[in-house]
Structure 1
């Protein structure tokens, strides 16, 4: 699959939605994280499935050595660089105080598990890193699974895993809500539904839908206008129906609040969001000139998508600083929207300079395997 800069624009849109969510102006913006999971599943699965064919002569060990070298050079410098900044700030100010008790979970990419404990102390400047921990855990398991999966069983196994993901969410919900020192034990519906949101195997179907997008026939089916618009319509209608019948669901959340706490939405809701995300990605790949994706051709959005990793990592600390200033200034109509735009701009500048001055130093050192067979233009499994 060739590099598609328009997918970067969708990354940008997802990242900006997440900023709006954390700035408390768009309660449904967290769905951007879900879109990232599906897109990661597509991109990483494509690398693995192509690698199985291209590097058969070199062997699995050679391929994965380079694969993980590239992943670490892309992810680790920014992640641990950010933790280093937080650590330096803590040494001089002793804030945020919780860093002292949470640093080990942060350093080991296990913060998503830490979220489940009653003793966990949340702070917005590092709380968002749970999703990066979840993705790294996915990178440690999924590539080997795909490599070993026989081609003839690809579709059958993928569809089984989609339903298995919903079963896993049910089991995680039940088990975690019966352990006394976890937040779900006699907790609120939002806390009870936390485990299916932050545990890695809960989002197995997100990565599976991403992997299915590597198949040309599946993409052609999912990108049909009637299928794509049906997915979007069902997602919106289901949410609005829940808004009408569940008092705690606000219209601003479009019926998709964090953790999807009611109506067993934590079971089926992620499936629907993942399917809709996959349909959007399939359409952008196969029908990239559609009017719906006109904005994805803008160079600004494409660049923001290119630095979206930095946007996601840095945005909470910029929001934290902005909220501190916000409490001391006079508000006027529309001031929150203006503040959000300023936060987005400052975060984008921070991510841009981080990418140019820090991350690129490591990206230039990525190793490339010399292939012995001609690369396949498409992955198609029977």
Structure 2
């Protein structure tokens, strides 16, 4: 194995080209699943989660490295507020634009039935709304069901800085590691709680509560955070990244063989032997307890191989890949709407159409989504970000001038 220099190893202020390429892969997997071509495409969301944990932790670590250069850090409270502002600035503009478009398209034909979803969507608690309310009472508007994942991510952005900034260094990473290792136990305890709260819920409904509950998926983000913290040690030996990936693949194989055997033992035959292993919501016979941990281990291995710059990953840093990765947030938002429009035009959901139609539909949805997301990023999201940064820079300069003149603002 050969490791090449990677932009992922540079200082925290620079973009990570290979990581953007992984985001492009994750977005493509999700679109392919929703087009009926990749049953396990939902794994792309968990790849997003691991990447998010890695990237934001890398930013915090880069801030703390400034102390060694003689620069004083702001207080934990100021750092927390600054982080939340940055994340809101990145997430809210495109999200609000998408919700606005959905309101315009669906409020008239569907009435205000979708308003029951609006509270959860606006407050980024939509995942909890979907967990605790019957499915029939949510998702009244098409093209919003996928937005629960953004609620999970935003909740992590609120929680994680409290761990990073509020817990001493000597305990911070021990706690994060413990939460990752004990994630199956956390999911089991969660099932007990939800089962008691919803005694009439069937196995699928309970499994969905694990799928969509932030507390059950926090280990994906934390695993990415741990990679960011221990990156120098992990990359010291050039064999470690590929070893991690091979261990992850072995874990996936063991998990798959165990549950294929269990499926076969209960009478499943043919393609049904693969049911509920990595396709759809993972549930049944405790597979929802361990399946996500296996997926997270694999996503972390892919991330580690990418940041190490292992031979064969250079294509992730190609300009076209990094561009798709940069606009992947908007792509994730808009693809569901594009897919709904296409499905309406052909008179059925694309995932139920013949294979040739699904392939052609995927190509159309993907290209249209990339175009819309590029337009949103260049003409809407970036201008807002630039204006905010200019305002923040001017505000900070004014405060410094007032302080130097000993004038209270």
| Range into which the TM-score falls when normalised by the shorter chain | 0.7 to 0.9
CA contact 2:180–2:219 (8 Å) conserved in 1: yes
CA contact 1:20–1:29 (8 Å) conserved in 2: yes
> Given the alignment of the two structures, is residue 342 of structure 1 paired with residue 356 of structure 2, yes or no?
no
SS of 1:239's equivalent in the other structure is: helix
Q: How well do the aligned residues superpose, as a CA RMSD in angstroms?
A: 2.6
In structure 2, do the counterparts of structure 1 residues 158 and 65 end up closer, same or farther at CA, with 3 Å as the change threshold?
A: closer
The equivalent of 2:383 in structure 1 is: 361
Max radius of gyration: which structure?
2
The equivalent of 2:79 in structure 1 is: 63
In structure 2, do the counterparts of structure 1 residues 148 and 56 end up closer, same or farther at CA, with 3 Å as the change threshold?
A: farther
Shift in Å, 1:251: 6.8
Higher mean displacement: 56-65 or 220-229: 220-229
TM-score by length of 2: 0.81
Shift in Å, 1:32: 0.5
TM-score by length of 1: 0.87
Number of residue equivalences: 362
Match of 1:314 among 330, 334, 337: 334
CA contact 1:18–1:29 (8 Å) conserved in 2: yes
Shift in Å, 1:158: 2.2
The equivalent of 2:250 in structure 1 is: 233
CA contact 1:51–1:63 (8 Å) conserved in 2: no
Shift in Å, 1:231: 1.0
CA contact 1:241–1:255 (8 Å) conserved in 2: no
Shift in Å, 1:76: 0.6
CA contact 1:26–1:252 (8 Å) conserved in 2: no
Give the gaps of 5 or more residues in structure 2: 1-11, 398-409
> Given the alignment of the two structures, is residue 166 of structure 1 paired with residue 184 of structure 2, yes or no?
yes
1:1-382 alignment to 2 at 5 Å?
1=12, 2-54=14-66, 56-91=72-107, 93-95=108-110, 98-116=113-131, 117-118=133-134, 120-122=137-139, 123-180=141-198, 185-214=199-228, 215=230, 216-220=232-236, 223-246=240-263, 247=268, 250=272, 255-286=277-308, 288-291=309-312, 293-327=313-347, 334-364=356-386, 365-366=388-389, 367=392
Distance 1:234 1:57 in 2: 42
SS of 2:221's equivalent in the other structure is: helix
Distance 1:254 1:170 in 2: 18
Distance 1:355 1:323 in 2: 25
Shift in Å, 1:39: 0.7
Higher mean displacement: 209-218 or 94-103: 94-103
Distance 1:172 1:96 in 2: 35
Higher mean displacement: 42-51 or 344-353: 42-51
What do residues 34-78 of structure 1 show as CA deviations (whole Å, max 9, x unaligned)? 111111111112222333453744222332332222111111101
Give the gaps of 5 or more residues in structure 1: 371-382
SS of 1:256's equivalent in the other structure is: coil
Shift in Å, 1:342: 0.8
The structure with the largest helix share of the pair is: 2
